[in-house]
Amino acid sequence: MIICKVIGTIVCTQKDEKLTGAKLQLVLPMDTKTFQPDGRPLVAVDSIGAGQGEMVLVVSGSSARLTARTQNTPVDAVIMGIIDTIEIEGMLTFEKHRDGQ
User: Per the domain annotation, does 68 fall within a domain?
Assistant: yes
CATH of the domain at 42: 2.40.50.220
73-101 residue pLDDT tens: 888 899 999 999 999 999 998 998 875 55
pTM beyond cutoff 0.85:
yes
What range does the domain containing 88 cover? 2-95
Question: What one-character-per-residue DSSP string does 28-45 give?
Answer: EEB-TTT--B-S--EEEE
The residues facing 8 across adjacent strands are 26
Q: Note the pLDDT tens digit of each residue in 45-79.
A: 999 999 999 999 999 887 878 777 778 888 889 99
* Separation between Cα atoms, residue 38 and residue 10, nearest integer Å: 21
Number of domains in the chain: 1
The CA-based diameter of the chain, rounded to the nearest angstrom, is: 47
**HSE, side-chain direction, 13 A CA sphere, residue 53:** 5
Query: Residue 73 is which amino acid?
Result: T
Q: Is the pLDDT of residue 25 over 70?
A: yes
Does residue 101 belong to any structural domain of this protein? no
- Is 100 contained in some domain? no
